[in-house]
């Protein structure tokens, strides 16, 4: 089953009188959406009662919840204190993901810093293996860790790098942000063949079945010489990318991803637009 939904709450959610995320699952169901990503952007700042209640609302309304771990994570850094905090952020995120009844935790892999790209990737691989050990030791056996493709050139996470990283263990499921990929490639994604190249890379590395279940982020994003600048809405006609060519590839491969929209303030409306585009193919 393919699912569409927003990251967080869009502007119209609040304009219609809603006050808190606990109201989101029912609101999304009424809009025809079935996914919701709860972001721990600046830290894991939700209490256990709210997490449980949000999970109950999601189950009642047929909405699948994922979480995005804090942005501070860096598994390629040389500061051991910050590295331990990165492991902690993931484990904290998983604790509340489980309370919400979700199964997917998205995270940013890290940055090059002062290291060379190969040195940073080597550290990322080693730390990812350690992360998996800690996650399994903590008893989180029914979740996916979803390393995300990134949009700035100094960040780790090209789609090729994420595909290779996900070969380490089946617990890793790629979070493929096509807006980021487009930014990194300075407008790379235009045709069905361009999207197919990305999907085929994952199929070649982790197989069709895992690729079919991938986590997807999609939004139009402004970019410059160094990659991502800022998120836009589907009204943008300059930067892209467009969803229709990807929708055709998803349908051809029989994929069943969770597709999360990260548009700037119109993420629910644009998620519904993607659902309609996909349904019209």
Task: Measure the N-to-C terminal CA separation of the chain; round to a whole number of Å.
Answer: 16
Supply 152's token pair: 């700035």
| Helix, strand or coil, per DSSP, at residue 213 | coil
Where do the domains of the chain lie?
3-279
pLDDT tens digit sequence for 35-85: 999 999 888 989 999 999 999 999 999 999 999 999 999 999 999 999 999
- Taking only the tens place, the pLDDT of each residue in 252-272 is 999 999 999 999 999 999 999
Q: What is the pLDDT of residues 104-157, one digit of tens each?
A: 999 999 999 999 999 999 999 999 999 999 999 999 989 999 999 999 999 999
pLDDT of residue 150: 98
- Given a contact cutoff of 8 angstroms between Cβ atoms, the answer to whether 35 and 258 are in contact is yes
pLDDT above 90 coverage of the chain, percent: 98
Alpha carbon 144 to its chain's center: 11
Residue located via tokens 């970019």: 223
pTM, two decimals, is 0.97
State how far the Cα of 218 lies from the Cα of 2, in Å rounded to an integer: 14
Put residue 237 in one of left, alpha, beta given phi > 0 → left and psi -120 to 50 → alpha: alpha
Q: What is the dihedral of CA 204, 215, 262, 132, to 10 degrees?
A: -100
What is the CATH topology of the domain spanning 3-279? Answer: TIM Barrel (3.20.20)
């Amino acid at each position: 089953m393919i699912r569409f939904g927003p990251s967080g709450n869009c502007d119209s959610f609040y304009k219609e009188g809603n006050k808190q995320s606990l109201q989101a699952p029912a609101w999304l169901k009424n809009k025809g959406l079935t996914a919701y990503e709860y972001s721990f952007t600046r830290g894991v700042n939700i209490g256990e009662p709210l997490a449980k209640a949000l999970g109950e609302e999601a189950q009642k309304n047929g909405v699948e919840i994922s979480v995005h771990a804090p942005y501070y994570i860096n598994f390629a850094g040389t500061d051991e204190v910050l590295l331990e905090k990165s492991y902690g952020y993931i484990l904290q995120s998983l604790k509340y993901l489980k309370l919400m009844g979700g199964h997917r935790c998205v995270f940013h892999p890290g940055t090059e810093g002062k290291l060379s790209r190969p040195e940073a990737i080597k550290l990322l691989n080693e730390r990812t293996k350690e992360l998996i050990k800690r996650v399994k030791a903590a008893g989180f056996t029914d979740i996916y860790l979803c390393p995300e493709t990134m949009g700035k050139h100094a960040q780790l996470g090209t789609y090729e790098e994420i595909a290779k990283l996900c070969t380490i263990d089946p617990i890793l499921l790629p979070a493929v942000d096509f807006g980021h990929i487009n930014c990194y490639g300075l407008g790379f994604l235009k045709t069905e063949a361009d999207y197919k190249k990305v999907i085929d890379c994952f199929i070649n590395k982790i197989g069709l079945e895992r690729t079919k279940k991938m986590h997807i982020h999609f939004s139009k994003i402004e970019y410059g010489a160094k990659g991502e600048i800022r998120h836009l809405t589907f009204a943008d006609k300059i930067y892209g990318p467009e969803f229709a060519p990807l929708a055709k590839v998803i349908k051809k491969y029989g994929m069943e991803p969770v597709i999360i929209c990260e548009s700037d303030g119109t993420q629910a409306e644009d998620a519904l637009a993607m659902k309609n585009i996909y349904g019209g193919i």
